[in-house]
Structure 1
Amino acid sequence: MSEKLKKGIYIMPSLFTCGNISCGCLSVISSINGNFTKAAWLLIFAIAFDMMDGRIARLTKTTSEFGVQLDSLSDLTSFGIAPSIMIYQLVLNSMGKIGQSIAVLFVLCSALRLAKFNIRANDKEVHSFFMGLPTPASAGLLISFVLSYELFIADPGQSLTFKTIPILMKSMPVFFKTMPVVMMLLSLLMVSNVPYISFKKMEFSKPKVFRLLILMVFLIWLIITFPQNIIFIFFTLYAFSGIFTYATKYWKIFKRIYSSKVEKKNNGN
């Protein structure tokens, strides 16, 4: 009985990972069919599955090498290939070979980012920071741009498709001009050494769990009530948080070196 239960627990996180990769594949199909709003929401569900599988594996102490590799493959599908195809179909296909190269660059950097993460995961230690922007966060920022389309149309029930792209071009012209640059920046951030905070060390058993629960409920309520706004704000702030931390770190180093030089100069005089 205990052996069956143990096998069932191992299956649980893998089922969520399979939910992640399934949403990614369905998102690709939706993007190919030109239903970009559906493609974006499927990737939101993929992010939710991705957040849950690792947490369940750690809580049930069923982390395994198989789970790490399966999770990595699902992340490449859902947060590398799927958003790249979505933005290519929406924006980059009008740029010819340049658009193709930007889409491929995003996928390649996603793969490199995940490979680097797997190397760090081999030490079996849960780190406080990620090195480089996580793939779900980079995909989330692209998703938020697509979902924000609904804020600029008169008909709230109208989805973003091939037919409604001209409306998007009129209401959000900056979107089409900045998206190639945004994708390249996100690609570089994924393979950089910019530190990003990891939420994996959040312990639900500690005394602060009640306040954390209230915060999570409030955040979920905000996402349900104002999905486009909150998703965009969250992923944008997260992307800039690492850059701010990185810049602050080197600013402090620069100030320390500069102060040391000034002090030596004053002592020499």
Structure 2
Amino acid sequence: MPHEDVVRPRRKGIYILPNLFTLAALFGGFYAIVMAMNQRFELAAIGIFCAMVLDSLDGRVARMTNTQSTFGEQMDSLSDMVSFGAAPALIMYEWALQGLGKLGWIAAFVYCAGAALRLARFNTNITVVDKRFFQGLPSPAAAALVVGFIWVMDDLGYRGASRIDWLTWSAFALTLYAGLTMVTNVPFYSFKDVSFRRSVPFIVVVAIALAFALIAYHPPAVLFALFVVYGFSGYGVYAFRKAKGKPVSVIAVSTDEPDEQGLHR
């Protein structure tokens, strides 16, 4: 019988560039946990904020270089769970909550479970959610609330909160707030409709430069303040839309309604 060459299907590779950013974000979360175990909470907070920056870049890099993949999406979700779910919960428990006994680890678990549920819901609802808004507080912003509070307090000289009642209970309340707000239906602005390819007035560039200067002046306080405003902004949006009689859900029910113009894009 004549020999026939068998054409084997080509194995699919993995795009290296966007996944490098994802792995770097994962390293930021892992680094933060290790630093918290060594009582270096300011470095733990910096690790989480670096992971946030890297996480915001991997998807953009993938779209810009046309290297999106299912593997990359799954890798990104797993990285987010570590960096913005498990890591902030463990850091907060190590910093403040372990002194509360069962209440402490329950609060940390509520945050961790909230992050997992929020990520799972985001992945399943991605095609039916208004792109202009997040459904619930995004996990990176929730992580910024939790570790930002630790960073500010550490900067003020509080190396731990387990023996300071008001600080411990403040950390407890903030952890529960962040965890539960992630699984609400409250709309948080996503900034996804902001285009960086459009021309803007010169004053906008000046404002951005001033914002960078302000952050550089005192990163812990400024970054925490920004995320506190954002972390409560969703309830303001919810109340405003409710008062105006507009739909408050960000889940699509129709593609023809003007109030749902950001859906299915």
TM-score of the two chains, using structure 1 as the length reference: 0.79
Partner of 2:144: 140
Query: Does 2:180 align with 1:188?
Result: yes
CA distance in 1, matches of 2:168, 2:136: 26
Q: Does the residue aligned with 1:165 lie in a helix, a strand or coil?
A: coil
1:36-73 deviation digits (Å, cap 9, x = unpaired): 11111111111110111122222223222222111111
Query: Does 2:39 align with 1:44?
Result: no
CA contact (8 A) 2:31 2:44 kept: yes
Could you tell me which of 110, 121, 136 is aligned with 2:115?
110
Q: Does the residue aligned with 1:62 lie in a helix, a strand or coil?
A: coil
Task: Give identity over the alignment, percent.
Answer: 34
> For the structure 1 residues 150 and 90, does the alpha-carbon distance in structure 2 shift closer, same or farther, using more than 3 Å as the test?
closer
CA distance in 1, matches of 2:40, 2:154: 13
Could you tell me which of 197, 219, 225 is aligned with 2:211?
219
CA contact (8 A) 1:126 1:200 kept: no
Query: Does 2:37 align with 1:32?
Result: yes
Aligned 1:202-241 pairs, distance under 5 A: 202-208=194-200, 213-241=205-233
- Specify every segment of 5 or more residues in structure 2 that has no aligned partner in the other structure, as ranges: 1-12, 247-265
CA distance in 1, matches of 2:78, 2:203: 34
CA contact (8 A) 1:140 1:235 kept: yes
Q: Using the TM superposition, give the Cα deviation of residue 149 of structure 1 relative to its aligned residue in structure 2, in angstroms.
A: 2.2
Q: Which has the higher helix share?
A: 1
Query: Does 2:26 align with 1:21?
Result: yes
Could you tell me which of 83, 86, 95 is aligned with 1:81?
86
CA contact (8 A) 2:98 2:104 kept: yes
CA distance in 1, matches of 2:216, 2:179: 29
Q: Using the TM superposition, give the Cα deviation of residue 188 of structure 1 relative to its aligned residue in structure 2, in angstroms.
A: 1.2
CA distance in 2, matches of 1:70, 1:213: 34
- What one-letter code is carried by the residue in structure 1 that aligns with 2:168? F
CA distance in 1, matches of 2:227, 2:84: 14
CA contact (8 A) 1:129 1:197 kept: yes
Partner of 1:3: none
Query: Does 2:242 align with 1:250?
Result: yes
CA distance in 1, matches of 2:39, 2:231: 28
Q: Using the TM superposition, give the Cα deviation of residue 186 of structure 1 relative to its aligned residue in structure 2, in angstroms.
A: 1.2
Query: Does 2:160 align with 1:165?
Result: yes
Q: Using the TM superposition, give the Cα deviation of residue 35 of structure 1 relative to its aligned residue in structure 2, in angstroms.
A: 1.4
> For the structure 1 residues 62 and 187, does the alpha-carbon distance in structure 2 shift closer, same or farther, using more than 3 Å as the test?
same
CA distance in 1, matches of 2:174, 2:200: 37
Q: Using the TM superposition, give the Cα deviation of residue 137 of structure 1 relative to its aligned residue in structure 2, in angstroms.
A: 0.3
Could you tell me which of 124, 127, 131 is aligned with 2:131?
127
CA RMSD of aligned residues (A): 2.4
Q: Using the TM superposition, give the Cα deviation of residue 241 of structure 1 relative to its aligned residue in structure 2, in angstroms.
A: 0.8
> For the structure 1 residues 151 and 37, does the alpha-carbon distance in structure 2 shift closer, same or farther, using more than 3 Å as the test?
closer
- What one-letter code is carried by the residue in structure 2 that aligns with 1:133? L
- What one-letter code is carried by the residue in structure 1 that aligns with 2:242? Y
TM-score of the two chains, using structure 2 as the length reference: 0.80
Query: Does 2:59 align with 1:57?
Result: no
> For the structure 1 residues 58 and 216, does the alpha-carbon distance in structure 2 shift closer, same or farther, using more than 3 Å as the test?
farther
